[in-house]
Amino acid sequence: MRRILAAQLADAWGTADNCDVLGLGYATPWLGCFSGARRVIAAMPGGQGAEPWVTANRNRTVLVDDRALPFAAGLFDRILLVHALEEADDPQALLNEASRLLSPSGRLIIVSAARGGLWARNEATPFGHGRPFSRRQMEGLIRSSGLEPRAWSQALYVPPWRAMLPFSDGIEQVGRLLFPGTAGLLLMEAGRLTYARPKLRGARSVIAPVPALNPASTRASSAQGPALSVPATTSDLAQSGKPLYVGQSCTD
């Protein structure tokens, strides 16, 4: 299961070069994948408890209140939530806090047990506890937090039976094509809305020298009409079967 999810995260963010990364919930098994990150911190909500990470070096784990995370706004370029929403008393409050911590160009990925999957029905696994989510439910939470879904994917098609785990690679390929509703994990990437200024119809560009500190330049610019803000990203990217796209470097 860890290897399958690690492959999905690598496709989305690579090694998160020059990024500040925060893991929320049970994210520690995958935070080591971001070897190019500038800083990596694991925050574990009080209801779940905390464990030391990284064991070989300094501890980078902090026990937090998921309704008031102890970090400055806009601090992290990448935020990974793994089994965090399912266990939260107030999933919307937790996601609002994650949105507050996200930098203007940052992105977050939510990893949750899928409501229709087989793993959510097996109480012998961590997936069988807490609150699983459907894609529509997760999209609603994301938009309510001021973010916009960018892409989504599914994983863990292998049934929760130990005898089937050696065949997980083949089952993943077949399940993705033939049995999409049986996936155990739902992954959704989100980011902030970006805005673009559209060109007004009928407007013509005029290039002419303007003297410095000429008050007329202000009147000329205002005559073109008010600027309009239009969302440049929509939920059209969150279509069935669309994989998480490869992330960009945080150096911009």
Short-list 77, 24, 101, 82, CA closest to 248: 77
The pLDDT assigned to 158 comes to 76
The pLDDT assigned to 183 comes to 79
State the Cα–Cα distance between residues 84 and 112, nearest whole angstrom. Answer: 8
Range 167-175 contact pairs with CB under 8 angstroms and sequence separation of 24 or more: 168/4, 172/4
Looking at residue 28, the DSSP 8-state letter turns out to be: H
Short-list 93, 200, 84, CA closest to 141: 93
Whether the pLDDT of residue 247 is over 50: the answer is no
Q: Whole-prediction pTM value?
A: 0.72
What is the mean predicted confidence (pLDDT) over 78-92?
92
Q: Could you give the domains of the chain?
A: 2-196+233-237 (3.40.50.150)
Whether the pLDDT of residue 182 is over 90: the answer is no
Whether the pLDDT of residue 156 is over 70: the answer is yes
Whether the pLDDT of residue 150 is over 90: the answer is yes
Looking at residue 54, the DSSP 8-state letter turns out to be: -
The pLDDT assigned to 252 comes to 43
What is the mean predicted confidence (pLDDT) over 202-215?
49
State the Cα–Cα distance between residues 199 and 51, nearest whole angstrom. Answer: 53
Looking at residue 65, the DSSP 8-state letter turns out to be: B
- Specify which of 7-21, 104-118, 170-184 reaches the highest per-range mean pLDDT: 7-21
Calculate what percentage of the chain has a pLDDT beyond 90: 35
Amino acid at 17: D
Out of 110-124, 174-188, 195-209, least confident range: 195-209
The structure tokens 């892409």 sit at: 151
What is the mean predicted confidence (pLDDT) over 125-151?
88
What is the mean predicted confidence (pLDDT) over 149-169?
78
Other Cβ atoms within 10 Å of 84 Cβ, number? 27
What is the mean predicted confidence (pLDDT) over 104-115?
92
- pLDDT tens-digit map of 226-240: 444 434 333 333 333
What is the mean predicted confidence (pLDDT) over 173-181?
72
Whether the pLDDT of residue 195 is over 50: the answer is yes
56, burial (CB in 10 Å: exposed 0-12, middle 13-18, buried 19+): exposed
**Do residues 80 and 111 make contact, with C-beta atoms less than 8 angstroms apart?**
yes
Short-list 65, 122, 115, CA closest to 86: 115
Q: Which tokens in the block code for residue 124?
A: 């012998």
Short-list 247, 244, 198, 242, CA closest to 224: 198
Residue 120 makes CB contacts below 8 A (sequence gap 6+) with: 113, 114, 127, 128, 132, 184
- pLDDT tens-digit map of 33-79: 999 999 999 999 887 777 777 766 677 888 999 899 999 999 999 99
